[in-house]
Structure 1
Amino acid sequence: MELIGGVVGGLVAAGGLVLVLVAAVVVGGLVIVARRRPKPQAALDEVRLTAGSALVRADARVAEAEQDLEFAAAQFGERATQEYRAALRRAQGDREEVFRLHGLLQSDPGANLRHRERAARIAMLADRIDRRLGEQADVFRQRRGQESGAPERLQRLRERIGETGRRIEAAASRRDARRATLDAPALGAEADAPERAARQLTRAEGLASEAAAALAASAASAVAERLGDAERLLYAAEEGLERLDARLARLDDATEALDRLRLDARLARDEALGAVAAAPDPQTADALTRAVAETDAAVAEAAEGSRDPLRALEGIQQALDRLETAQAASRTQAQRLSHAREAYHAARVQAEAQIAAARDVMGGGAPASARARLEDALVELRASRAAIELDPVEALDAARRALVHARDAEVLAKY
């Protein structure tokens, strides 16, 4: 019996040892698998990174095609670029869908399976944008490389050079007239646009002369190359002058908005002073009095003939916002709607100017976060324009959100 008991005990001990070893192997395997398996957050970050790269690619490709299309239209005419323009419209629709899907990726912290599907669709749309626009760009790249029509191209180029030269003189005159009344920062990066355009025009004229000489010598490749380089320089000069015109127009809008906002500020501060006596408690009365004083200071700082209307707009608008907060409890709904309508124009002008400033610093290397925030600003600005008639308060809020998004986009693009 002792022998049998010893054998049984040994078997039990051996069996226990085997179970321990098996358990150890199983646990070790699970640990290894767990370590190899990507963590949910890491996998999500990878999906977002992939989607962000595709967004940057799609956005840059559409922006490049928009410029190339205008360049092609200037070279070959609108009729020749109809298919290119249709392809660009489809690509712009795909780009909007890319930004929509990217927004869902950023706003939804979970749902990994849906994230992968969204990221895959973003990549597919980016590929489709690249393919469609690339095909159209290749068509015109080949047309530019052909000698046929070179004399006509050269003639059109020389006509555009003369026209651009006259535009440079007019733009410089307008810019100089505004310099007398504005601080240098108000003109922004477009301040030296006429000088840059003049340098580009000089180089284009030289290339046109070289193309004419190559044409006389029947040097086909040299003709196409010189003409293409000259046309690109001329297009860049024209684009710079257009940006200056747009900047001056925004400053005109800001000056008009500033005049209106000064009047609104005077009316609002008089209304607030009248509400001090009827304030429900001393704290509210003090808040109203301080807000009136800040509004008066902002209006005084943005004196008549402000040398930076956009900056002056911001100062008065911030003071009026504080005044509105102090008065909010005593305002009726009709008064709130009226105030929103009065404040909307200035808020929209500020948002449009900030969006333009963000676009100026974007370039081709801006990250997906900056591009997405700029798109958010554009969406809010469109929403504000659509809402102004039916809901002025929402329109004002949307314009202010557009301003915030555009500022964030500029910061993200810079850093």
Structure 2
Amino acid sequence: MQPTTLFYIIIGILIFNYISEKILDSLNEKHFDDEIPKKLVDVYEEEEYKKSQQYKKTNARFSNFTSFITTAFTLAFFFLDGFKYVDDFARSYTEHPILVALIFFGIIMLASEIISTPLSYYSTFVIEEKFGFNKSTKKTFWLDKLKGLFLSVILGGGILSLIICFFQLTGQNFWIYAWGLVALFSLFMNMFHAKLIVPLFNKQSPLENGELKTAIETYAKKVGFTLNNIFVIDGSKRSTKANAYFSGFGSQKRITLYDTLINDLDTDEIVAVLAHEVGHYKKRHIIFNLISSILLTGFTLYILSLFVNSPILSEALGVSKQSFHIGLIAFGILYSPISEITGLFMNYMSRKFEYQADNYAKKTFNPNALISSLKKLSKNSLSNLTPHPAYVFVNYSHPTLLERIKNLES
């Protein structure tokens, strides 16, 4: 295959991804004005539903604009030999493969931030502000950006450096060592993310003694779930939207409740949400997701090892000198159709797991409390109650509210 042919295959993949995404978005947007299903009529009052429709339409228009801008910039970068110029710039300072790659990706990341930051700022301080969700200050927004960039440089740069080092030392077998590295990192982050990363952005406090803590501890004892770590996170620092999540294993496992969740729901509803999270743990969903992620990473790295050293990948992007970082860019795009398929499978499994966790909460606590909590959370986040089935199949990691309620009532 000629480099020019491969170049146009890459461009074709980028354009196909954009068009298919827009088709799904268009199908979903046509359902924004649908009537609320009978089982969900008590979620919104008439004015609230109109507000949710307006929120969906505003976000859809903004999403169409941002995806067009990012796709247009990406295609222009490809056609104008952007990778060649960035690679030449990096090599003007050094020929060390790791340093060249770090400079190369540093420039790409900086360019991406220059494009995405104004869009993110508008989304936060115009759209989310307009609909009453935003609680973030401009100081918090910019600090989050700087902290995120710092972590990307330290963690992302460190992992990339080690992977290239493995490639330099072991050649095609680098994927085995890289896989081990990523697996260990994933396990470590799953165990200690809440202790090491979250505190950089949010304050976490142990749940205070009182009615809620007693109710949670009573439920945990009932189902034989050892739970010593219940934390409240200051989610209201950035948004009024509520959430709860489970993380860690063994002695490091913890339940984290957003303060907005505690404010929005009553005690039984919060315990029902926690019962759902305990269901994920009892059904070993977290372990499945971690193992699946590690296996998929290993498969991807193995396929990468077969092609990354091929000069045609670099030549297709206009770079005459074969290098790991250019091959990685080309491979990432060529691999994206496979990634989409694995993503569909993982979303399917995630939706299946949500039903299982709901069923666990239904059997061990109170289905009506979980239903009312789901309705309140949907209402407070102005959720879409009538998404298109195809859009759900491709993009949703959770079943729709209607599907979850039907399951809980069955």
TM-score grouping bracket, smaller chain normalisation: under 0.3
Q: Structure 1 length normalisation: TM-score? A: 0.26
Q: Structure 2 length normalisation: TM-score? A: 0.26
Q: Larger RCO: Structure 1 or Structure 2 (Cα < 8 Å, ≥ 6 residues apart)? A: 2
Based on CA coordinates, which of the two structures has the bigger radius of gyration?
Answer: 1
Larger fraction in helix: 1
